[in-house]
Structure 1
């Protein structure tokens, strides 16, 4: 199938899966007047974490990605029927519980070479280092961005909502630290800026990005990544070899194994289970996982240095390798919603 045909099939399969979930979920409707609504039926699909997307098959062809959570019998039953409708083009994989990457397991010390992400205090600031809201543990500084606002000459740090804000109680003006609090960033000199803007996350409707920006103080910065300056963006098409620089696992390599994944359910400690649409899935090409706790907010880029995503969530198990899967928001979606662009050399006055 070409991409348009695959998208149409995905839409049809989503409706089919929800119909199946409604049938299998009749016992859950007892005591509910009027039976289950369409929205509630969708919740039944999301409860076992059934996500559908596109998977590249070469020569511009696409199949359907089917992802479901380990250990949920209802999900397996629905997956079998959905897969039968797809036929040979079904790419079925199990996932573990998907959570924001900052909540994935322990945060071991990261390598401390200049080329890697780390937990130390770094001046000049650069992508890949530890960062966090004063009330958060630690995540990763993904990139520097500028706002398309006349007269705004400030530079901003881009990362995740759950890194730069962390909770609905966070407010613009809150202190942002480098390194993050989990890495000892509590001294006065560790302040690098303040929370400026977040993309709200709402459990009542699908989300597309987990993102926020912080306006930087007058601190020295470096725009360099291990692959050079990242100033271009592109839509992930699937199959790309990608990298990231994270606070915990430093430089890792992976492959985009699925795109346009809908109903990716991510469990947040403060916000509960949230559904994300149009997400990118990445599986590690290294001996270890592509990401671990503390890598949230890292920029995901192709081998040629073009950015494709903002890393935000993952599972500790699942995928073909069993090492877990990582999920990223499409970077163009992130930049458009926040109305920012990746910073270029001539736009940062304090570098």
Structure 2
């Protein structure tokens, strides 16, 4: 009996003698929101003085994404506080099992820490929720232009902190999408477009502010403006739907001016003839048409990596509405406006 106890003691002592790194949780959240990005901090202590780094290997996690390849480290005395950021993706989530290794000139044993189940809360937002959960969200600039006869297109730039900004999504819009994203979860910037009904005067939406633990409202006033707020240009085509009526009105004014000259013999009334005639000539000038190659991408905006909303299935001859740098604005057969690259045009 005594011999057995002695052997057991020696075995346990040898296990602890070989353990060179101790690992524990320092900080984990009491509850997390589905879609939230949160930190998990591990507290590590090494009994070996000479080592280069502490490496981590994760396994057996579910319902979350690990966003950092390497931890954010703070050293306090002999302890290392290593923080990883993770994002909750499902209603049920579990922290990963962790194995920590010492990176040192000689091989040492590793140590492990079992993952814990997270208390996940799912939001129940209103219909105008943008699917954004962040510490902060800021609209930086925006612009509204005409998309077609019944819709406007709103393009805006926004930034967010501690946020998976690519999850942005709106309900009850005609079309939407990401034009560009930069940065990371810590500080991200997005250019986004939405196509909405022309009747909407203000586009309001909400996001969940983690610092306030509440929803925060944001509003974009819908003002159709030809002035550029960034590198974009006017997306609105020349409206020819009432050109014939306008020409008749201008002709009537010119004829009235001619009658006044005959009756009153004052050449001052020539202005009522000359200006309407110039206006009629301007309306009568046909808009330039260009040839578009088969397989040409039609872009939503005149910028690289913009959304492609249509690809030509054959060669087209389309009305040219304008041009910006390497892009030409065209009016499609369905009266929508798009942009093509100069290189995608062909000779008439």
TM over 0.5: no
The answer to which structure, 1 or 2, has the higher relative contact order (CA under 8 A, 6+ apart) is: 1
Name the larger-Rg structure.
2
Q: TM-score, normalised by structure 2?
A: 0.22
**Greater fraction strand:** 2
Q: TM-score, normalised by structure 1?
A: 0.21
